[in-house]
Amino acid sequence: MAPTIGLDLGGTKVLAGLVEEDGTVLACERRRIAGLSLRALVATVAEAVAALGVDAPIGAGVPALLDLRTGVAVRCVHLPLGGLVVADLLGADVVDNDATCAVLAEWTLGAARGCDHVVMLTLGTGIGGGLVLGGRIYRGAVGAAGELGHFPVDLDGPSCFGGCPGRGCLEALCSGSALARDGSILLGTPITGEEITARALAGDPEAVRLVETLGDRLGAGLAGIAMSLNPEVIVLGGGVLNAGELLLEPARAELRHRALAPARDVRVVAAGLGEEAGMIGAALLARQSVPRTVPFG
C-alpha cells in the first residue's frame, strides 16, 4: 500500500510525516504552533502537509478529549480546537487522540510490540495517555478513555493547566509545563523544561533534583495506573523523556515502593519510536479506510 500521512499535533508543535506501512518515515515536516489562533493553526498544519509534496490519506492525532461518535474535540487544553470537528478543520480522513496514536505505533512497531496489555504516557507540554487492553486499542464508551494526564495524584497539589478544574493531576506534577513551573520558582527566573533537562544532563545539581522530583511524582502516578490496569508494560514518550534515566530511575523506584505485587513488576520503558510515535500512529490509522472518526474496539 502507498504511504500515508500522519499528523501529530502537540501543545507547541505539529509533526507531519509521510510514512510507509512498516513505520519508515520517508519525509517529515515540523512547525511550531504554540499560541497560534485557530486560523493560523489550520494554515500552519496545511503548510506542513503541502510541504510533503504528495496527495495521500491523512490521519491526525490531537491533544484533545474527543467524542469519536461525532469527531468533536469536546475539550482541548493546549490548542483552540474545543467544540470543533477536527477532521474537517485539518482535512484529515481519520482523527484520534494523540496518545492513542502513539500507543498504536508503539504496540504495532515499537517498545510494546508483542504485548496485549499496554499503557502509554506522553509527557510533553501536557500529559496524554493511550491504552491497549486485551490486545485491542481501548477508547472507552465514547472515546474519552486514557486521559491519564488528569489522573489525580495529590489532593492538595498545584492547580492543573489550561483550565482543568483539578489539583494535583499527573499533568500538574509531571509534565514539561510542571518542570518549567518548578524550575522557574526555584531559580527565581523563567526557564523552560527543555533548558532544565539540558542542565540536568550536564550535571547541574539543582536541575538534577528537579528532574528526580518529577520522577518521584511520576512513579506515584504509575503505581496507581499499575494497580488499576495491571499492564505488561508502561511506555513513556514525549519531550520530558529526553532526561532519560535521570527521570526513569526514580520513577521505577517509586512505582516499586508504592504498588503491590504482582502489579508492581510492570516494565517501564522509553518509547522506541521517540517523538515520531504519534505521527507514525496517525499514519497507521489513516490506513483504516474509515471517514472522519475511528471505529470503537
Domains plus CATH for the chain?
4-98+276-285 (3.30.420.40), 113-271 (3.30.420.40)
The pLDDT of residue 289: 52
Strand 127-133 to strand 118-123: parallel, antiparallel, or no bridges (unpaired)? antiparallel
Q: Which of left, alpha, beta for 223 (phi over 0: left; psi -120 to 50: alpha)?
A: alpha
State the distance between the two ends of the chain, measured CA to CA, in whole angstroms. 24
Tens-digit pLDDT profile for the chain (297 aa)? 799 999 999 888 999 999 999 999 999 999 999 999 999 999 999 999 999 999 999 999 999 989 988 999 998 888 999 999 999 999 999 999 999 999 999 999 999 999 999 999 999 989 999 999 999 999 998 888 999 999 899 999 999 987 789 999 999 999 999 999 999 999 999 999 999 999 999 999 999 999 999 999 999 999 999 999 999 999 999 999 999 999 999 999 999 999 999 999 999 999 999 989 999 999 999 987 544 444 433
Neighbours of 232 (CB within 10 A): 15
Map grid coordinates 522509553 to a residue: 270
Q: What is the DSSP string of the chain?
A: ---EEEEEE-SSEEEEEEE-TTS-EEEEEEEE-TT--HHHHHHHHHHHHHHT-----EEEEESSEEETTTTEEEE-SSSTTTTSBHHHHHT-SEEEEHHHHHHHHHHHHSTTTT-SSEEEEEESSSEEEEEEETTEE--TTTS-TT-GGG-B--TTSPBPSTT---BSBHHHHHSHHHHHHHHHHHHTS---HHHHHHHHHTT-HHHHHHHHHHHHHHHHHHHHHHHHH--SEEEEESGGGGGTHHHHHHHHHHHHHHSPTTGGG-EEEE-TTGGGHHHHHHHHHTTS--SSSPPP-
The pLDDT of residue 295: 40
Instruction: Name residue 41's amino acid.
Output: L
The pLDDT of residue 294: 43
Instruction: Name residue 81's amino acid.
Output: L
Q: How many CA atoms lie within 13 A of 201 on its CB side?
A: 12
- Quote the cell numbers at residue 203: 550535571
The pLDDT of residue 144: 86
Closest CA to 146 of 220, 232, 66: 66
Residue count of the chain:
297
